[in-house]
Structure 1
Amino acid sequence: MAKLALLVPGGSGQLGRDLAALTSDDVDVRAPGSAALDVTQTGAVVEAVTDLASRAREAGSFPVVVNAAAYTAVDAAEEDEARAFAVNADGPRVLAAVCSSRRVPLVHVSTDYVFAGDGDRPYEPDSPLGPHSAYGRTKAAGEDAVLGSGASAWIVRTAWAYGATGANFVKTMARLESERETLSVVDDQRGSPTWSADLAAGLVELAGRIAEDRGPERSVLHCTGGGDTTWHGFARAIFEELGADPDRVHPCSTDEFPRPAPRPAYSVLSNEAWSESGLTPLRPWREALHAFVAAHREALRQPTARR
């Protein structure tokens, strides 16, 4: 693989941290958080991308921007869509424009929420969009901004991401396992859990292909953990990995837990285009979960009182 110089806006998030962890002799990753690089500020983005290009030229490496910056507070976005739009749509528009002017490729990470979520078969990259939430609308607008910018750009949609940094479903289930005798989790929403470390490795592989002038012909790709399950099935698997009784997790319906933002009932994304592009498919979600818990068991503070 060609030597890479990556700029990762959103570097303080779980995906950004996992991308930064892939720094090596052949991959130089700079991953500033939003305080250091606000993607909505044109001047800051110009400076960061210009520095990336200069650094890559001096090191004999290839520059790529991987945008992991996003407003991901799905429920809060319903009340603050303007802020979500600024980060999820205006930010990618600024990044894409600057990347186009500096001739630096852009990989932009997006989400399953851009779809209506009422299907019954995996969504393809070219399936019609139909977001029902403010978060989904702003992410769809960000995709449009990137694809219409003229930049050398790829959209990578993912779903149900979890990792070692920040709040996520796996951490929440681990905490609740230690606090409650039983809990109820929705069993009528289906998707593909994705370990952010696996996604990060896939994005670096994609960047490497772009650097070698072998970037995928498709401008939109999907990249998630293999297979699918419901949130209830995911929770049971987490309990099993923690050594807890999965029968303590009871199924319930979405209607029993209303939220400000509507959740997609069906979020399974087809990874076929990713594989057909010659990129390595992510491992099955269950295998990845086993590896994640094994690697972070102490941090998850596995309780033992009820085992």
Structure 2
Amino acid sequence: MAYAVAEASLSRVLVTGGGGQLGSALAATVPPSISLRALGRADCDISNPAAVDAALDAEEPQLLINAAAYTAVDRAEEDADAAFAANGEAPGVLGEACARRGIRLIHVSTDFVFDGTRSSPYPVDAPTAPLGVYGRSKEAGERAVLDSGADALLVRTGWVYSHSGQNFLRTMLRLHGSHEEISVVSDQVGTPTDAYSLAYALWAAAARPALGGIYHWSDAGVCSWYDFAQAIGEEAHALGLLQAVARVKPIRTEDYPTPARRPAYSVLDKSLSWRDFEMPPTHWRSQLRAVLTRLKETAHG
């Protein structure tokens, strides 16, 4: 999967959250015509207006992509101040700083702003009703960006994973390799999203400066975490990454209690982004195969 950036005038991009799986994917997929500078948490405290001002003045980007987030969904229930600082306040700081300088902002949000009570994909204008602290903090960040006065585009996504870092894929590979049976919830439904697929979508959005407002992006298709866990085992075994595959036992959410409530259904309606980003939909299972192939190549490289 590769998409050319059509906006020839875009040459300088700054990414916040450069150390995360999405930030790493953006760096790995950056079009050759773009000079990218990625800042991690140690490089810039994005909740500090003075630090953000200094970074933007030093880098002078034409576009800022905010891939930084507090993503520990369960820990957020006990650490709300940190979640709201990173997810709720910092995006507003970035937005206001970008607005003052005429810098375009692309901000990444989450399917967890919804309560999961629908049975059909969430359109971009669906009412938000987050169930927990993480979702509420991301919802606050959305409002802050949209109210900042910046030329902003907001992209909601969900179930993001990659061949590196800590995520559901890596956890399932470890459990498949060490257990005969694993239990995974089967009544939470969404769409797994390859971080590289999301990165390509963000670059496609970056190439279209007239776009703004809220968009949804994930890979195509629908599955439960149970389905995803089974597919990981099957695809990894087929690629020789696993010698044996554990039995995957479906369980209900109530059988696996967690501090944070999660939406039972968080499939996003991506039709607007597929049209406006000019991105063809790719099924999540195909992307899973691509991610595992990437993992295999990295391990052997």
TM-score by length of 2: 0.92
Q: What is the rounded CA distance, in whole Å, between the counterparts of 2:64 and 2:232 in structure 1?
A: 33
Conserved 8 A contact 2:176-2:246: no
Instruction: Report what 2:235 is aligned to.
Output: 241
Q: What is the rounded CA distance, in whole Å, between the counterparts of 2:262 and 2:164 in structure 1?
A: 23
Amino acid at match of 1:88: N
Q: What is the rounded CA distance, in whole Å, between the counterparts of 1:115 and 1:105 in structure 2?
A: 26
Q: What is the rounded CA distance, in whole Å, between the counterparts of 1:25 and 1:196 in structure 2?
A: 19
Amino acid at match of 1:220: I
Instruction: Report what 1:274 is aligned to.
Output: 273
Counting aligned pairs with the same residue, the percent is 43
**CA deviation string 1:56-88 (max 9, x = no partner):** 5xxxxxx11000010000000000101100000
> How much does 1:22 deviate?
2.4
Q: What is the rounded CA distance, in whole Å, between the counterparts of 2:27 and 2:48 in structure 1?
A: 22
> How much does 1:298 deviate?
6.1
TM-score by length of 1: 0.90
Within a 5 Å distance, the mapping from 1:282-293 to structure 2 comes to: 282-293=281-292
- Tell me, which stretches of 5 or more residues in structure 1 are unaligned? 57-62, 302-307
Going from structure 1 to structure 2, the CA distance change for 1:147 and 1:281 (only over 3 Å counts) comes to farther
Q: What is the rounded CA distance, in whole Å, between the counterparts of 1:282 and 1:91 in structure 2?
A: 31
- Tell me, which stretches of 5 or more residues in structure 2 are unaligned? 1-5
**CA deviation string 1:185-211 (max 9, x = no partner):** 10000000000011001101111111x
Aligned length: 288
Within a 5 Å distance, the mapping from 1:100-249 to structure 2 comes to: 100-210=99-209, 215-216=210-211, 219-243=213-237, 248-249=247-248
Instruction: Report what 1:34 is aligned to.
Output: 41
Amino acid at match of 1:42: P
Conserved 8 A contact 1:13-1:165: no
What SS does structure 1 have at the residue aligned with 2:165? coil
Q: What is the rounded CA distance, in whole Å, between the counterparts of 2:277 and 2:163 in structure 1?
A: 28
> How much does 1:25 deviate?
3.1
Instruction: Report what 1:59 is aligned to.
Output: none
Within a 5 Å distance, the mapping from 1:6-85 to structure 2 comes to: 6-53=13-60, 63-85=62-84
Instruction: Report what 2:3 is aligned to.
Output: none
Conserved 8 A contact 1:174-1:300: no
**CA deviation string 1:274-299 (max 9, x = no partner):** 12324314411010001110110266
Q: What is the rounded CA distance, in whole Å, between the counterparts of 1:292 and 1:271 in structure 2?
A: 21
> How much does 1:121 deviate?
0.5
Conserved 8 A contact 2:179-2:246: no
What SS does structure 2 have at the residue aligned with 1:227? coil
**CA deviation string 1:117-156 (max 9, x = no partner):** 1110000110000001100000000000000111100110
Conserved 8 A contact 1:271-1:281: no
Conserved 8 A contact 2:164-2:295: no
